[in-house]
Amino acid sequence: MTVLRLRGFEIHKGLLDRAEQLVLLDGVRAVVKAAPFFRPVTPGGQKMSVRMTSAGKYGWYSDAEGYRYAPTHPNGTPWPAIPDAALAIWDRLTGLERHPECCLINYYDSDARMGMHQDRDEADFRWPVVSVSLGDEGLFRIGGQKRGGKTDSIWLQSGDVVVMGGEARLHHHGIDRIRAGSSKLLPKGGRINLTLRVVE
């Protein structure tokens, strides 16, 4: 297992083997059963191409009222618990006593992408964010704290885990495209990303 450092991001290539990925996928399936994927609408009225759901005390989404963390799914029900397998990855990589309060789950079909943005709806940027990739490869683009600067790109593969802490926590980032058919993990293809965040 190798750790790559790129612009302050800590990329653990191949941290999860196939068996660990399947256990995590079981946890994702349980979450999606209780809290189905939906396509958030941006405050500007555009449907996002990425499908989302969440687990934990808070979930993140956007609608006409803006981008925010909310204690319930748009259908009004509380989010299910964060899968133990996801918390185990957080514990292993951060060693922190504190646990995340949100596990945002993004699903990308072969046409989905996520534009460059910062994650800044959390109360305290000193806590890291941990991201886990499952399924098809995604081209992850990383910039700096200011928008519009130089960027670097790296393909994230199933089982890769990224830790964003320190200066990297406020760096711009996005997913430019998905490489359809690059993984056999998800029977119907596509890419799943989990991000673990301390919200309060």
Binding residues for ligand MD3, rule: CB under 6 A, are 104, 106, 114, 119, 129, 131, 138, 162, 164, 168-169, 171, 173, 175, 193, 195
Q: What is the closest distance, in whole angstroms, from the C-beta atom of residue 17 to Fe ion in the complex?
A: 26
122 binding Fe ion? (CB under 5 A): no
Residue 143's region, left for phi above 0, alpha for psi from -120 to 50, else beta, is beta
Count CA atoms within 13 Å of residue 53 on its CB side.
Answer: 24
- Kindly list the distances between the CA atom of residue 21 and the CA atoms of 30, 93, 132, in Å, as whole numbers in the listed order: 14, 16, 10
In three-state secondary structure terms, 174 is strand
* Partner from Fe ion, ligand MD3, none contacting 25, C-beta within 5 to 8 A by type: none
Please give the size of the binding site for Fe ion, defined by CB under 5 A.
Answer: 1
Q: What is the closest distance, in whole angstroms, from the C-beta atom of residue 89 to Fe ion in the complex?
A: 17
- Kindly list the distances between the CA atom of residue 126 and the CA atoms of 7, 93, 132, 199, in Å, as whole numbers in the listed order: 17, 16, 20, 11
Q: What is the closest distance, in whole angstroms, from the C-beta atom of residue 49 to Fe ion in the complex?
A: 15
Q: Which of 119, 122, 136, 160 binds Fe ion (CB under 5 A)?
A: 119
The residue range among 18-26, 36-44, 112-120, 153-161 that interacts with Fe ion, by the rule CB under 5 A, is 112-120
Q: What is the closest distance, in whole angstroms, from the C-beta atom of residue 132 to ligand MD3 in the complex?
A: 9
Residue 153 pairs with which residues in a beta bridge?
141
* Partner from Fe ion, ligand MD3, none contacting 102, C-beta within 5 to 8 A by type: none
Q: At what angle do helices 18-34 and 84-94 cross, to 10 degrees?
A: 130
Task: Write out the two tokens for 58.
Answer: 């808070």
* Partner from ligand MD3, Fe ion, none contacting 106, C-beta within 5 to 8 A by type: ligand MD3
Provide the binding-site residues for Fe ion, judged by CB under 5 A. Answer: 119
